[in-house]
Each structure stands twice: as structure tokens, then as C-alpha cells.
Amino acid sequence: MEKVRLSLEEVNALSMRVLTSNGMAEDHARAIARVITAGQRDECHSHGIYRLLVCVRSLREGKLVGDARPQVSELSPAIVRVDAGFGYSQLAFELGSKVLVEKARHVGIAALSINNCFHFSALWPEVEAIASEGLAAVAMTPSHSWVAPAGGTKPVFGTNPIAFAWPRPGRFPFVFDFATSAIARGDIELHRRTGKEIPLGWAVDEAGQPTTDPTAAMRGAMLTFGGHKGSALSAMVELLAGPLLGDLTSLESQKFDEGVGATPCHGELVLAFNPDIFAAGKRAQGDQYAEAMFDAIAGQGARLPSQRRFEARVRSEANGVEVSAQLYADVKALIRN
Ligand code: NDP
Ligand code: PYC
């Protein structure tokens, strides 16, 4: 496949141009371009510049508010809410996470509820940002109902990612971030774009039969990871980042979409934990035990989650990124003059 090499500055500038020329307000575009550039930099291909295609479709379909003003309010000493006003989630997160971090520093545990947001991004940029403040973090969000529960064949759940970060000395925290489906839907879409089959176990077709055809998978139902365990975790994400926050489940988000194929619109829950308060004077010991556990994992040749991403980050910061020439052309074609 033909490739194009771009610097991170070029990825960011391309993202800004695509978004603003399609009517996105500057501050939203900046926040979105940052996470798209980070996704491409970390070789998280399902959430890099490919996402601009869906962002622009969502803007052009008119449900998304490209210049929404997120409203921050305090629900309790430990809970901050941001009403994203039917804009994208990134600016709401940037505003709300500042308050979340302050609350967690003082109260020990705090929650950020983002409501009424269109949400397409990977969650690791968010939990990493909170870990960089010395806090542990968890984030989760529903999406559209694309995923069948274990034992069923009809979509109920979203791809429902859960992300976790633990602060560590040095440049990178411990982070995992995964969909509770066998794979993110973005990856199935990338297989479809490049004419590749998907592995068995990712999805069933409309008749409920296992399939390796990405188009049939997208028409049928994706499967959860880990059978009934992923299925239960996915239900938890629906409940904690949906009804708990007074917001939509993936089934309701899909109805709200009315067949347009826009980015899912719903809520997001982000939690922050302050180890200085929880550990009650034993933070240094806790850090030591945590590091011993990471060493015990890596010391036997097993890899820590996000290690691949962090290695890609170092590479991309030095050399820029490679993007498929077709994807680059499709993204550039979105620019309106
Ligand atoms: P992957 O299955 O690719 O990776 C999941 C996690 O597992 C990553 O932290 C990854 O680290 C780690 N990992 C992978 N292989 C190994 C291994 N062999 N040993 C140890 N750790 C490993 O991710 P998904 O397809 O499930 O999700 C991709 C992204 O999509 C996520 O960032 C998620 O937030 C996003 N997403 C967003 C949605 C939304 O609604 N906003 C919906 C669904 C997904 P590494 O990255 O280093 O490989
Ligand atoms: O890749 O599953 C996905 C996804 C859904 C919403 C944003 N990303």
C-alpha cells in the first residue's frame, strides 16, 4: 500500500484545516486536532486522521453543534458536570478535567460527568492527562448499539471502552485502554477500507453466523471480548456512563442518530483517585509495590499495555508518521475552500 510521510505538525495542521473549513469553531478544532494527532502519533490507527472522515460527516449532517459552549457546573464537592451542548467531547473534557483534578486533590476521589457530547476519541489521552497530575484515573463511555451481548446475536451494547492510568515515575504512566468489544469498530472499518478480512471472533453477520467479511460484520453484530465477562463489563459501561449520568445508552444513541451514521452522542464518566489521600501515609510504599509488580510483568518478557503505543510515540516524535496515501487523499478532499 502506498504511504505518505507527515510530520506531527502537518497532521495537526491538516486536522485543523479539515475541521475549521467545515465550520468547526477554532477552540473545538484545536482540542480535536490534538487528540487526532496524538492517535496518529501513537499508531492508534483507528483513532487517528481516519476519524476526520466521520467528524466531517457528523458536522455536515447538522446534529452536531460545531461551536457549542460547554457549561461546567458542580453537582457536589466530588462531582463536576460538563454539559457539552451537543458538541464534541474534547473541549468539555479539557474544561472539566481541570476541576476534576482539583477536586480529587482535595477530596481524594472525584468524578467528571460529561453529558450531551458527540464522542469519537480514544480514552487514553484523557487518563494519561490525569495521571500526569499524580492521580490514578478511569474513564468509560458508551457508543452506538453495534455489539451483541454474549449468547445473543443482535446489537445492544456500544463498543464501550474502559481506560485506566496509574502514575509512575518517569515519562510514561501505566495505561490500558480497550473497547469491551473484541476490537474497536474503527478497526473493522479500516479492514473494510483496505479490503482485508477480519479474524473470526470479532463479529457475526445479519443471520447471526460468524463472519470474516468486514461489511457483513458492520451490518450484523460485533462480539464482546472475553465472552460473558466482556459482556457484563460492557453493560456496566452502559449503566455508569449512561443512566447514572442522566444520559443515553448506546441503544438510545443509535436512535438519536436516525440512520445518519454520525459520531455517537451520549455521556462519559471519568474518575480520579488521589493516592496521597487513599494510601494514608503509605504512598511511597504503594509506589514501590506497584513498581515491583510492573517489573515482575516486564521482567519475564511480558509486555505492559501501552508499551507498543509509547514506543510508537518516541518513533513518531523523531521521524513523523506514515499514513496510507488513499486515506491522506480522502482526508484532504474534505477541505472546503
Ligand atoms: P486494542 O485491543 O488494540 O488494545 C487494547 C489495550 O491492550 C491497549 O492498551 C494495548 O496497548 C493493550 N495490549 C494490546 N496487546 C497487548 C499485549 N499483547 N500485551 C499487553 N497489552 C496489550 O484496543 P481496542 O481495539 O479495544 O481499542 C482501541 C481504541 O479505541 C482505544 O483507545 C479505545 O479508547 C478506542 N475506542 C473508543 C471508543 C469511543 O466510543 N470513543 C469506542 C471503542 C474504542 P498498546 O496500545 O500498546 O498495544
Ligand atoms: O472504534 O468503536 C469505535 C468507536 C466508536 C466511537 C468512537 N470509536
Judging by beta carbons within 10 Å of its beta carbon (0-12, 13-18, 19+), is residue 13 exposed, middle or buried? middle
Q: Spell out the per-residue pLDDT of the chain, length 337, in tens.
A: 799 999 999 999 999 999 999 999 999 999 999 999 999 999 999 899 999 999 999 999 988 999 999 999 999 999 999 999 999 999 999 999 999 999 999 999 999 999 999 999 999 999 999 999 999 999 999 999 999 999 999 999 999 999 999 999 888 999 999 999 999 999 999 999 999 999 999 999 999 999 999 999 999 999 999 999 999 999 999 999 999 999 999 999 999 999 999 999 999 999 999 999 999 999 999 999 999 999 999 999 999 999 999 999 999 999 999 999 999 999 999 999 8
46: annotated active-site residue: yes
Ordered by where they begin, the domains of the chain are: 3-181+224-280+306-332 (3.30.1370.60)
205: annotated active-site residue: no
List ligand 1's pocket residues with C-beta within 6 A.
Answer: 44, 46-47, 119-124, 141, 143, 159, 161, 163, 176-179, 183-184, 187, 303, 305-309
Between CA 23 and CA 227 the distance in angstroms is 42
Nearest to 89 by CA among 28, 37, 165: 28
Between CA 67 and CA 6 the distance in angstroms is 28
List ligand 2's pocket residues with C-beta within 6 A.
Answer: 46, 120, 143, 159, 179, 184-186, 264
Supply the pTM of this predicted model: 0.97
Q: Which residues pair with 265 in a beta bridge?
A: 118
Helix (H) / strand (E) element for 217: namely helix 214-219
Judging by beta carbons within 10 Å of its beta carbon (0-12, 13-18, 19+), is residue 94 exposed, middle or buried? middle
Measured by CA distance, the residue closest to atom 6 of ligand 2 is 120
Amino acid at 215: T
